Every structure is written in structure tokens, then in C-alpha cells.
Amino acid sequence: MKSLRDRVVLITGASSGIGEATALRLAEHGCRLALVARNQAALDQVARQCTQRGAQTIIVPTDVAESEQCRRAVEQTAAAFGKLDIVVNAAGLSMRAYFDGSDLAAMERVMRVNFFGTLYMTHFALPHVQRTKGSLVAVSSMTGKRATPAYALYGASKFAIHGLYEALHIELKHDGVHVGVVAPAFVDTPLRLRALGADGQPATERPPDQFRVWPVAKCVDCIIDVIVKRRREALLPWFAGPFLILDQILDRRLGDRILDRRFPPELERKRH
């Protein structure tokens, strides 16, 4: 495995879930870390664990939905470490609700955190990453590869990330910049438990598991693999790729039938 030692990595959503787990794993690889999220107390706890693993670490409390805060986070990282090699966009906000009847402000918030948060951080980090010929990595979702009922807005935000990073992969490869996306299925993180409902409030009950829920470590494995091998994309699980191809060949009828049974409208409306 290519060494990641002393690489400077900015991680959004680093206070919990995939972002936190990625930070801890990269700390073990000897990276220097800038941990970005809104919750300073949670960031402090993650930073202490990273430091215990030998990583030089700073925290930058940031709301990624605010462009100026993203600019500041990038500049503070570059000032602290003298460079920026890798950005992992792991901040996210989930929403599980049928589109009909969903709160517009909540849907806009999901887009701002998931898509614009990734866009802002990528925009401000790009000049630094171009200088180091480093990596831009976004954590997307299988709902950004295949539309899923009850996840229309969440999926739309992830589709947008795929569109942005697909174009950047082509635009930036001549500059030596690696652009990669990780698209996991359901992952066992607090994000699932805090998913917004149609009214824009966090759901009051744990959502049923329509499909297998993967351990967060498996998702982190994919992120590390994408960074080290400078891969364009990684799916979790791996067999989602062949299924998506088959679904496309069948004009998406297979996927529609499966998803319609797994996410019946009456079940989703009952939850709210």
C-alpha cells in the first residue's frame, strides 16, 4: 500500500459516522488531519483519539452549508500544515420521506449540506490540491446511483455530487489531481438515526432495514482504497455495480419492482 504518512487531509463531517471513522483510520496511517464539522465538543473528542494514534490534528468548527466558513476551513488547514493534499467530503444530512408533502425548507437544507457543502469545500480546496497533485474525494450514496423512493431529495443531492465529480475527474486529470467518489449502500452510522422526516424534523423511530446495513469500517476501507489507488469510484457492496448494469439493460424495471416493494408509500407515510 502506498504510504499516506504526513499527507495533510481535511475531513468534513469528522465529528461522527463515516467522517469520524475515516479520521481515526487516517491517523493510524500517519496523516496530518484537519477535522471539520459543526459540533466542536464532538470534534475535540475525535481529535484526542487521533492524537493518541500519533496524528498531528487540528479542529475547525464549520458549517459546510456556508461558503465563507468552508473557505476559512481550507485556509486554516493550509496555514497550519503548509499544504493540503487530500479532501474527504463526508459531511451529510439524510432525509427519508416521500416528496409529496415534504417541507420545502428541509429539502433545501439537505441540498445545501450534501451538495453545496461538497461544492464549496472542493472549490476552495482545489488550488491547494492542484499544487500537491492530491485527491478530492466525496462520500456519496447508492441513492446517488439509483433513484430510491423515500430518498428523492437525499438521492438528488448525491446524484448532483456524482455529476460534479464526474466532470471534475475529466477536467482535472491533466493537472494530476485525483477525483474519486465512494457510493455506499446503507451504513451503520448516526446519519440514519437522524434522518429528517417530511416535516423537516428528525424521525422519532429507527427506520426499518430494507436492505443490509454495512459496518462503517467497510465504508472506510473503500475510502482508503480510493485514495491510495487513486480510483475513480468505489461501490459498497461491490456487487452493486453488476446489478446496476443489469437494471439498466432491463430499462430499470427490475430495480423499480424491488424498490417499490421495499419502500411502500403507506409504510413511509405511517412513519410520519
Position 3 in a domain? no
Position 73 in a domain? yes
More confident residue, 5 or 207: 5
Map grid coordinates 420521506 to a residue. 97
Look at residue 10 and tell me whether its pLDDT is greater than 90. yes
Helix (H) or strand (E) run with residue 88 in it: strand 86-89
Position 1 in a domain? no
What's the rounded mean pLDDT across residues 83-91? Answer: 98
- Catalytic positions are 154
Position 79 in a domain? yes
The pLDDT of residue 208 is 73
The pLDDT of residue 201 is 94
The pLDDT of residue 218 is 97
Position 151 in a domain? yes
Position 225 in a domain? yes
What 3 state SS string does 113-168 have? HHHHHHHHHHHHHHHHHHHHCCEEEEECCHHHCCCCCCEHHHHHHHHHHHHHHHHH
Position 267 in a domain? yes
Please tell me the pTM assigned to this model.
Answer: 0.94
Tens digits of residue pLDDT in 41-60: 999 999 999 999 999 999 99
Tens digits of residue pLDDT in 96-145: 999 999 999 999 999 999 999 999 999 999 999 999 999 999 999 999 99
The pLDDT of residue 269 is 54
Q: How many domains does the chain have?
A: 1
The pLDDT of residue 95 is 95
C-alpha to C-alpha distance for 231 and 205, rounded to whole angstroms: 37
Domain extent at residue 147: 8-271
CATH at residue 248: 3.40.50.720
Tens digits of residue pLDDT in 133-189: 999 999 999 999 999 999 999 999 999 999 999 999 999 999 999 999 999 999 999
Tens digits of residue pLDDT in 202-240: 987 776 777 889 999 999 999 999 999 999 999 999 999
The pLDDT of residue 250 is 94
C-alpha to C-alpha distance for 202 and 82, rounded to whole angstroms: 40
Contacts of 237 (CB under 8 A, 6+ apart): 185, 212, 214
Residue 268's pLDDT band, with cuts at 50, 70 and 90, is low
The pLDDT of residue 271 is 52
- Residue type for 69, please? Q
Position 2 in a domain? no
